[in-house]
A and B are shown apart, each in its own frame.
Chain A
């Protein structure tokens, strides 16, 4: 894995340094959707790692055919990740106070590897705070990310550069947007009205500043996903709260409606698959054996054993914009074993002790890139057939 240095930069003073050149690439606008705490932020962070930010991540392909995934980091480019944070500092300011901060993560030799798998959020490094896990996105924050990677066969000519453009947010704004089709905007400059926000349960009882923030957030997201090239829906299994489960099912139905009505490729990622014991024990075995093979059948698991309680819904969607066999993946960012204990596999494949001296382990990322690879595959296939 090439050494890469991550630097963060916020609000560069004018004229002090050249802004990294934006590479000329095909861009794919992909919306990653999930209920709050479904793992969207973690998913983005680990993807960033995969594409060259050099998180020491063990990646296990799940395809039984052993074929190599056509996704890899675009290290030729100066900028691997561009992250713009939109933050409302004072939501009550009528003039609007959306403050933007852009950080560029660039390819540089790595000085201290241990620092690199800490949280990528800007400022943490400077404060000397090292965290193991990605920080949650703040409630009043949207983070737009542009990930640069390559798709195709490895090695220069065989692949093409792509840019994944996506937005991360917190608090379920994106989940609300997709759940309730009465909110959908149908133009790139459409506006979600205050009135249509009332479709969100108890919206009228919220504080005015939160209502306004939400409406603006919905508008921002609505414009962003308008004309999205693909949607990745993250579903979290084994949600303890019945309300969360209900929210997730209603969101899934909303996303299916959206994908069908907008003819948008949809890929489903069952995130936090480490919560599913059966799945995880197999992954663990694969890690130990270093077999890099998995015979695990996500479709069988989802439909016959109802991993995320979505069997009937998925069956209903077969052929309606998704194929259960090809477009549904179990993924895990594996920050824990599901019991709250961090799971670290040492370089030798052994499980790190949860007590005693701190061990530098390797967070296991399983299948995380598969949904993105499939989304890219569908986007490019679509462009090819449409001559785009």
Chain B
């Protein structure tokens, strides 16, 4: 649930990190970020809602599943958002919490507040500041209202401008106090404390805070899995199995270990201060640059645009400029990719190595996806088609399963994990001396049978889940046959 400040001050310009770049209005930057978030919600099938506030709080988009066909209407609505008036920040937070209220389960969901000012228009809610006046009669204390018992709510506040001085930016004192108060209440009630406040002073920072993105571009010869003939699918699976059977020749695969594949995402993941990075892969047709890269992805979009236009030097210089607002792994990945396209193989390899190191620090929810993007680039650089096929298939499957329920996705990813574990037992059948060959072969066959059993159970339970699930299961079944 995004709470967006539409007070008049949002019309003010926000400097950009890139020298020479025109300043953009805060609302303009925020709008492009919302477009991007919407697009992601449509692709993943996740819920999204938008509350805008001036002195009045409005529900612009109720919490709903975003479908691709509705996207133009919602985007049109967002483009019409025009700032005016003052800011009822506390009232807006209360409305946002109300939209996520689930009866006895309290408030369940994620709130993101984007504001550039001080609360000067709330009529119903308030936040108590130490040493400040007491909450006026008739006003409600926001903190307990947002955190009733059993709640599981995260709050991320993105404050625009440095607001130590009133009307020059976000009210950082109150925001910090709100965050700490919520932390204290969460601690007392035994609720998870997932609250953060981040100030931004440039357009790029604002965008990066709203959209912490890892953007990648598909390779020219990529073909969607669903377009493959069954025999081609089988060939892909056989190729992928080679990557599992010959680890010495396919070292990259070991970086995507089964634990990462089976990493659970969602509410059970441990909270971390490092924000999740959203991973987007833009596909291109006929070498054309996708539209709105800059608008949708901010500074990173500009880098990718130059790269796709065949201007590696410009792309590298834009990347250097945008570096402060990009997650390190994103920057290093693009450095490697651009250098590789520019035939600077040594530099590319160095950057990619650093990217791997950075990726290890990522939170578990996004780490597997990013590791696979890195693995794909490494496989390209090493001309390792087998690893590329394997990683692409896992990646494509996960992407295509975006709209299916998380349990199905997790189940399939777990199966992929088990498939990759077979590398170990298979290797033993190759390494064993003649005496223990039979023992090794037996262990491997037992392991294969076990995975085949899991595959059958998955088919029985997930059969009505559409071609993406079927395709993934077919791939695993063929890979299993190849592990002989």
* Chain A residues with a Cβ under 8 A of chain B: 180-182, 195-196, 198-204, 241-243, 245-250, 253, 256-257, 309-313, 315-320
List of B residues within 8 angstroms of A200 by Cβ: 459
Q: Which of A204, A241, A309, A313 contacts B463 (CB 8 A)?
A: A204
Q: How far is the CA of A241 from the CA of B229 in the complex (A)?
A: 12
**Within residues 435 to 462 of chain B, which ones have a CB less than 8 A from any CB in chain A?**
437-438, 441-442, 444-445, 448-449, 452-453, 456-457, 459-460
A315 touches B234 (CB 8 A): no
B442 touches A316 (CB 8 A): yes
B438 touches A201 (CB 8 A): no
Q: Which of A241, A257, A312 contacts B449 (CB 8 A)?
A: A257
A315 touches B438 (CB 8 A): yes
Q: Which residue of chain A has its CB nearest to the CB of B230?
A: A243
Beyond the given A182-B457, A242-B231, A250-B452, could you list 16 further A-B residue pairs with CB under 8 A, ordered by the A residue number?
A196-B460, A199-B460, A201-B477, A202-B470, A241-B231, A241-B234, A243-B478, A249-B484, A250-B480, A253-B448, A253-B449, A312-B429, A312-B441, A316-B438, A316-B444, A320-B442
Given contacts A201-B473, A316-B442, contact A245 B460 (CB under 8 A): no
* Chain B residues with a Cβ under 8 A of chain A: 230-231, 234-235, 237-238, 429, 437-438, 441-442, 444-445, 448-449, 452-453, 456-457, 459-460, 463-464, 470, 473-474, 477-478, 480-482, 484
List of A residues within 8 angstroms of B470 by Cβ: 201-202
List of B residues within 8 angstroms of A311 by Cβ: 484
- 23 pairs, A vs B, C-beta closer than 8 Å: A180-B456, A181-B456, A182-B457, A182-B460, A195-B460, A198-B459, A201-B474, A202-B470, A203-B463, A204-B463, A242-B234, A243-B231, A246-B481, A246-B482, A249-B484, A253-B452, A257-B449, A309-B484, A312-B444, A312-B484, A316-B438, A316-B444, A317-B445
B456 touches A245 (CB 8 A): no
List of A residues within 8 angstroms of B457 by Cβ: 182
List of B residues within 8 angstroms of A312 by Cβ: 429, 441, 444-445, 484
Q: How far is the CA of A243 from the CA of B231 in the complex (A)?
A: 6
Q: Which of B437, B456, B484 contacts A313 (CB 8 A)?
A: B484
Q: How far is the CA of A316 from the CA of B480 in the complex (A)?
A: 16
Q: How far is the CA of A318 from the CA of B230 in the complex (A)?
A: 34
List of B residues within 8 angstroms of A318 by Cβ: 438
Q: How far is the CA of A318 from the CA of B482 in the complex (A)?
A: 20
List of A residues within 8 angstroms of B445 by Cβ: 253, 256, 312-313, 316-317
10 nearest A-B residue pairs (beta carbon): A246-B481, A316-B441, A242-B234, A249-B481, A316-B445, A198-B463, A246-B478, A315-B441, A243-B234, A316-B442
List of A residues within 8 angstroms of B484 by Cβ: 249, 309-313
A315 touches B437 (CB 8 A): yes
Q: Which residue of chain B has its CB nearest to the CB of A317?
A: B445
Looking at the assembled complex, report how far the CB atom of A246 sits from the nearest CB atom of chain B, in whole angstroms. 4
Q: How far is the CA of A201 from the CA of B438 in the complex (A)?
A: 32
Q: How far is the CA of A246 from the CA of B237 in the complex (A)?
A: 10
List of B residues within 8 angstroms of A256 by Cβ: 445
Looking at the assembled complex, report how far the CB atom of B316 sits from the nearest CB atom of chain A, in whole angstroms. 42
List of B residues within 8 angstroms of A199 by Cβ: 456, 459-460
Looking at the assembled complex, report how far the CB atom of A355 sits from the nearest CB atom of chain B, in whole angstroms. 33
List of A residues within 8 angstroms of B437 by Cβ: 315
Looking at the assembled complex, report how far the CB atom of A161 sits from the nearest CB atom of chain B, in whole angstroms. 39
Q: Which residue of chain A has its CB nearest to the CB of B442?
A: A316
List of A residues within 8 angstroms of B441 by Cβ: 312-313, 315-316
Q: How far is the CA of A181 from the CA of B455 in the complex (A)?
A: 11
A242 touches B459 (CB 8 A): no
Q: How far is the CA of A27 from the CA of B478 in the complex (A)?
A: 38
Looking at the assembled complex, report how far the CB atom of B321 sits from the nearest CB atom of chain A, in whole angstroms. 49
Q: How far is the CA of A201 from the CA of B476 in the complex (A)?
A: 12
List of B residues within 8 angstroms of A182 by Cβ: 456-457, 460
Q: How far is the CA of A41 from the CA of B314 in the complex (A)?
A: 68
Q: Which residue of chain A has its CB nearest to the CB of B430?
A: A312
Q: Which residue of chain B has its CB nearest to the CB of A205?
A: B470
B442 touches A201 (CB 8 A): no
Looking at the assembled complex, report how far the CB atom of B483 sits from the nearest CB atom of chain A, in whole angstroms. 9
Q: Which residue of chain A has its CB nearest to the CB of B459?
A: A199
Q: Which of A241, A250, A257, A316 contacts B481 (CB 8 A)?
A: A250
Q: How far is the CA of A81 from the CA of B167 in the complex (A)?
A: 100
List of A residues within 8 angstroms of B456 by Cβ: 180-182, 199
Q: How far is the CA of A347 from the CA of B457 in the complex (A)?
A: 55
List of B residues within 8 angstroms of A319 by Cβ: 438
Looking at the assembled complex, report how far the CB atom of B224 sits from the nearest CB atom of chain A, in whole angstroms. 19
Q: How far is the CA of A303 from the CA of B169 in the complex (A)?
A: 76
Looking at the assembled complex, report how far the CB atom of B323 sits from the nearest CB atom of chain A, in whole angstroms. 46
Q: Which residue of chain A has its CB nearest to the CB of B426?
A: A312
Q: Which residue of chain A has its CB nearest to the CB of B465?
A: A204
Q: How far is the CA of A210 from the CA of B238 in the complex (A)?
A: 30
Q: How far is the CA of A318 from the CA of B440 in the complex (A)?
A: 12
Looking at the assembled complex, report how far the CB atom of A44 sits from the nearest CB atom of chain B, in whole angstroms. 26
Residue in B237, B444, B452, B480 whose Cβ sees the most chain A Cβ within 10 Å: B452
Looking at the assembled complex, report how far the CB atom of A325 sits from the nearest CB atom of chain B, in whole angstroms. 13
Q: Which residue of chain B has its CB nearest to the CB of A319?
A: B438
List of B residues within 8 angstroms of A195 by Cβ: 460
B460 touches A198 (CB 8 A): yes
Q: How far is the CA of A246 from the CA of B231 in the complex (A)?
A: 11
List of A residues within 8 angstroms of B444 by Cβ: 312, 316
B478 touches A204 (CB 8 A): no
Q: How far is the CA of A247 from the CA of B235 in the complex (A)?
A: 14
Residue in B441, B453, B460, B484 whose Cβ sees the most chain A Cβ within 10 Å: B484
List of A residues within 8 angstroms of B448 by Cβ: 253
Q: How far is the CA of A265 from the CA of B184 in the complex (A)?
A: 70
Q: Which residue of chain B has its CB nearest to the CB of A180?
A: B456
Q: How far is the CA of A242 from the CA of B463 in the complex (A)?
A: 23
Looking at the assembled complex, report how far the CB atom of B453 sits from the nearest CB atom of chain A, in whole angstroms. 8
List of B residues within 8 angstroms of A202 by Cβ: 470
Looking at the assembled complex, report how far the CB atom of A129 sits from the nearest CB atom of chain B, in whole angstroms. 33
Looking at the assembled complex, report how far the CB atom of A154 sits from the nearest CB atom of chain B, in whole angstroms. 38
Q: How far is the CA of A171 from the CA of B473 in the complex (A)?
A: 21
Looking at the assembled complex, report how far the CB atom of B195 sits from the nearest CB atom of chain A, in whole angstroms. 46
A245 touches B463 (CB 8 A): no
Q: How far is the CA of A253 from the CA of B450 in the complex (A)?
A: 11
List of A residues within 8 angstroms of B464 by Cβ: 204
Residue in A180, A243, A318 whose Cβ sees the most chain B Cβ within 10 Å: A243
List of B residues within 8 angstroms of A245 by Cβ: 481
Q: Which of B452, B478, B480 contacts A242 (CB 8 A)?
A: B478
Looking at the assembled complex, report how far the CB atom of A38 sits from the nearest CB atom of chain B, in whole angstroms. 15
Q: How far is the CA of A245 from the CA of B456 in the complex (A)?
A: 19
Q: Which residue of chain A has its CB nearest to the CB of B445?
A: A316
Looking at the assembled complex, report how far the CB atom of A295 sits from the nearest CB atom of chain B, in whole angstroms. 24
Q: How far is the CA of A248 from the CA of B445 in the complex (A)?
A: 15
List of A residues within 8 angstroms of B237 by Cβ: 242, 246
Q: Which residue of chain A has its CB nearest to the CB of B455?
A: A199
Looking at the assembled complex, report how far the CB atom of B5 sits from the nearest CB atom of chain A, in whole angstroms. 50
Looking at the assembled complex, report how far the CB atom of A43 sits from the nearest CB atom of chain B, in whole angstroms. 23
Q: Which residue of chain B has its CB nearest to the CB of A245?
A: B481
List of A residues within 8 angstroms of B460 by Cβ: 182, 195-196, 198-199
Q: Which residue of chain B has its CB nearest to the CB of A202?
A: B470
Q: How far is the CA of A180 from the CA of B237 in the complex (A)?
A: 20
Q: Which residue of chain A has its CB nearest to the CB of B441?
A: A316
Q: How far is the CA of A317 from the CA of B441 in the complex (A)?
A: 8
List of A residues within 8 angstroms of B442 by Cβ: 316, 320
Q: How far is the CA of A243 from the CA of B438 in the complex (A)?
A: 27
Looking at the assembled complex, report how far the CB atom of B139 sits from the nearest CB atom of chain A, in whole angstroms. 58
Q: Which residue of chain A has its CB nearest to the CB of B233?
A: A243
List of B residues within 8 angstroms of A316 by Cβ: 438, 441-442, 444-445
